[in-house]
Structure 1
Amino acid sequence: MQLYNTLSAKEREALIEEAGKERLTISFYKYAHIGNPSIFRNHLFIHWNELDVLGRIYVAHEGINAQLSVPAENFAAFKSHLDSIIFLENVRLNIAIEQDNKSFLKLKVKVRKKILADGLNDATFDVTNRGVHVNAETFNTLIEDPDTILVDMRNHYESEIGHFKNALTPDVDTFRDSLDIIEQDLADHKEDKKLVMYCTGGIRCEKASAYYKHKGFKQVYQLEGGIIEYTRQVNDQNLENKFIGKNFVFDHRRGERITDHVIANCHQCGNPCDVHVNCANEACHLLFIQCDSCSEKMDNCCSNECKEINALPYEEQKKLRRGKVVSNKIFKKGRSEVLTYKK
């Protein structure tokens, strides 16, 4: 039985365009004990492939973390399948603020050691002893309290294009980097301050809140459903929106606009811009912010070197990158020395 993709991203993109049907971009996570992640992975792939689900899904002994795209006409069947799985029944689904039929172009269900790369030894603390979940209205009230410290649990390239007003935005490359830094910076306030955290969809705060309670923080809160659910509630309930800019997302959209504020700058010319792109040179693929003018001038590349390589015939490009590993450069995410106006 086929348990993997057979179509390329380009082939899938063409099929989506030809179909012309609306798709929904959705994310969800759930911490739960999964005895055999490989069997569960295959079960999901078989059922979701039949429903034309596309996306990036991680399965581990500790649970599932999913970001995916499903045809709107198949949503009911998809939801029914989720509800048939005991620990996923009525799981909260974060539906994207801005929809894009091409947010994902392949179905990838992968077995991992953990569903979130947090670098923590879960056996050393109670991961179920999490912080207090709060909705958008309560969150707005909490962050106006002078005894509250609001912390963005995302990485620098995420908060660079959008964040909550007055939030601490750690200058980190990964989630695991932020955990100890935040604890050290707030060490004097474990007893007297309310620690309020937020992230994209909530999964990072699930683990971080338990970790910080273990580390001695007495008042720990987390935004239920993250920025995605907050925005939905703000719109539905006509609440004051305290988020500014764009919400970075981990699919082909790379971001969804929450407000009209542009708080970042093009990494090449310094003009206001909050559009993330990947360098067109496949041997580089660096994630950075680039305005339309620089995109045209640089042929969608991050440097003149990459521009020259990208102009070569494709077969020559393949020869140049053969045997080379560039993942470290990819994950610098805007910190490359070739960028003049990097954060």
Structure 2
Amino acid sequence: MQLYNTLSAKERARLIDNAGQHRLTLSFYKYAKIGNPQVFRDHLFITWQALDVLGRIYVAYEGVNAQLSLPADRFNEFKNHLDSIGFLKDVRLNIAVEQHNKSFLKLKVKVRKKIVADGLNDDTFDVTNKGIHLGAKAFNKLIEDESTVLVDMRNHYESEIGHFKNALTPDVDTFRESLDIIEADLKEHKETKKLVMYCTGGIRCEKASAYFKHKGFKNVYQLEGGIIEYTRQVKEQALENKFLGQNFVFDDRRAERISDDVIANCHQCGEPFDVHTNCANDACHLLFIQCDQCKKEMNNCCSTTCKEINALPYEEQKALRKGQGNSNDIFKKGRAGHLLYKKDLRNIFEVLKTNKK
């Protein structure tokens, strides 16, 4: 039985166009104890492939994390399947703020050691002992409290284009880096401050809330459903939107516009801009912020060297890449030294001292 994706992204995109159906992009996660992740993974793949689900799904002993799209008219079938699985019954589904039929072009269901890589090897840590969940209204009220420390649990390239007002935005490339940094920088406030966290859809700050409780923080909260659910509640309840800019997402949309504020700058010229792109040179593929003018002048490349390489015939480019592997800059997300206007982030403790003066 076929348990893997067989179509290329181009072939899938063509099928989507020909189908002419509206697709729904959504995400969900659930921390739970899964006895056999491989069997569960195969079950999801077989069932969801039949429903024309596309996306990126991780399954582990600690639960499931799913980002996906499916035909809108098959949503009820999909929801019924989730409800037939005990620990996923009535799981919160985060419907994307901005929809796009081609947000995902393949179905990938993978077994991982963890659904959120945390670098932890502590058998006494209970990921289900989470902090207090906050809806948008309660969140808005709590972050105005002088005794609250609001922390963005996402990576630097995510918070660069959008974050909550006065949030601490750690200068990290990965979630696992942020845990020790935050604990160390806020250790003097474990009992005196209210630690409030947020992320894209809730999965990272839910694990973080459990971790910081495990480390002795007394008042730990998280924004339930993350920025995606916050945006939905703000609209439904006519609340003040305290998020500035765009919400970075890990699919072909790259971001969802939450407010009209543009808080980032083009990494090449410094003009206000907040749209990420990947360098057109396949040997680089660096993710960075590039305005329309620079995109035109640089042919969608991050440097003159990449521009020159990208102008070569395909076979010459391929020959240059042979045996070289991918540049580490791919994983640096805008940290390449030749980008003159990349954002410099201050140490979280320095921000804390500034905000609380």
TM-score clears 0.5: yes
2:319 paired residue number: 319
- Secondary structure, aligned partner of 2:24: strand
Structure 2 Cα separation of the partners of residues 241 and 30 of structure 1: 27
Q: Deviations over 1:65-115 (max 9, x none)?
A: 110011101111111111111111111000000001111111111111111
Structure 2 unaligned blocks of 5 or more: 344-357
Structure 2 Cα separation of the partners of residues 333 and 3 of structure 1: 32
- TM-superposed deviation, 1:327: 5.8
| Match runs of 1:290-329 below 5 Å | 290-326=290-326, 328-329=328-329
Structure 1 Cα separation of the partners of residues 112 and 196 of structure 2: 29
Tell me the amino acid that sits aligned with residue 315 of structure 2: E
Structure 2 Cα separation of the partners of residues 315 and 39 of structure 1: 42
Structure 2 Cα separation of the partners of residues 327 and 112 of structure 1: 25
1:188 paired residue number: 188
Q: Deviations over 1:25-46 (max 9, x none)?
A: 1111111111111111111111
Structure 2 Cα separation of the partners of residues 315 and 19 of structure 1: 35
- Secondary structure, aligned partner of 1:171: coil
Tell me the amino acid that sits aligned with residue 121 of structure 2: N
Tell me the amino acid that sits aligned with residue 274 of structure 2: D
- Secondary structure, aligned partner of 1:209: helix
- Contact 2:246–2:259 (CA under 8 A) maintained in structure 1: yes
1:89 paired residue number: 89
Structure 1 Cα separation of the partners of residues 18 and 122 of structure 2: 46
Matched, 1:168 2:168: yes
Structure 1 Cα separation of the partners of residues 7 and 127 of structure 2: 39
- Secondary structure, aligned partner of 1:59: strand
| Match runs of 1:228-267 below 5 Å | 228-267=228-267
Structure 2 Cα separation of the partners of residues 314 and 47 of structure 1: 39
- Secondary structure, aligned partner of 1:124: coil
Matched, 1:34 2:34: yes
- Secondary structure, aligned partner of 1:127: coil
2:101 paired residue number: 101
Tell me the amino acid that sits aligned with residue 63 of structure 2: G
Closer, same or farther in 2 for the Cα pair 1:305/1:327, shift >3 Å? Answer: closer
- TM-superposed deviation, 1:304: 1.2
- TM-superposed deviation, 1:122: 4.3
2:347 paired residue number: none
| Match runs of 1:53-132 below 5 Å | 53-132=53-132
Structure 2 Cα separation of the partners of residues 35 and 327 of structure 1: 38
1:138 paired residue number: 138
Tell me the amino acid that sits aligned with residue 148 of structure 1: T
Tell me the amino acid that sits aligned with residue 259 of structure 1: S
- Contact 2:329–2:335 (CA under 8 A) maintained in structure 1: no
Could you tell me the TM-score, scaled by structure 2's length? 0.94
- Secondary structure, aligned partner of 1:73: helix
User: What is the root-mean-square deviation of aligned Cα atoms in Å?
Assistant: 1.0
Q: Deviations over 1:222-279 (max 9, x none)?
A: 0000000000000001011110100000000110000000000000111010001111
Could you tell me the TM-score, scaled by structure 1's length? 0.98
- Secondary structure, aligned partner of 1:67: strand
Tell me the amino acid that sits aligned with residue 154 of structure 2: R
Q: Deviations over 1:154-204 (max 9, x none)?
A: 110000000000111111111111111111111111111100000000001
- TM-superposed deviation, 1:324: 2.5
Structure 2 Cα separation of the partners of residues 327 and 24 of structure 1: 34
Tell me the amino acid that sits aligned with residue 155 of structure 1: N
Matched, 1:15 2:12: no
Structure 1 Cα separation of the partners of residues 206 and 284 of structure 2: 33
Structure 2 Cα separation of the partners of residues 96 and 223 of structure 1: 17
Structure 1 Cα separation of the partners of residues 83 and 54 of structure 2: 19
Structure 2 Cα separation of the partners of residues 323 and 74 of structure 1: 45
Structure 2 Cα separation of the partners of residues 61 and 126 of structure 1: 13
Structure 1 Cα separation of the partners of residues 25 and 302 of structure 2: 29
- Contact 2:24–2:71 (CA under 8 A) maintained in structure 1: yes
Structure 2 Cα separation of the partners of residues 322 and 115 of structure 1: 33
Runs of 4+ in structure 1 off by over 4 angstroms are none
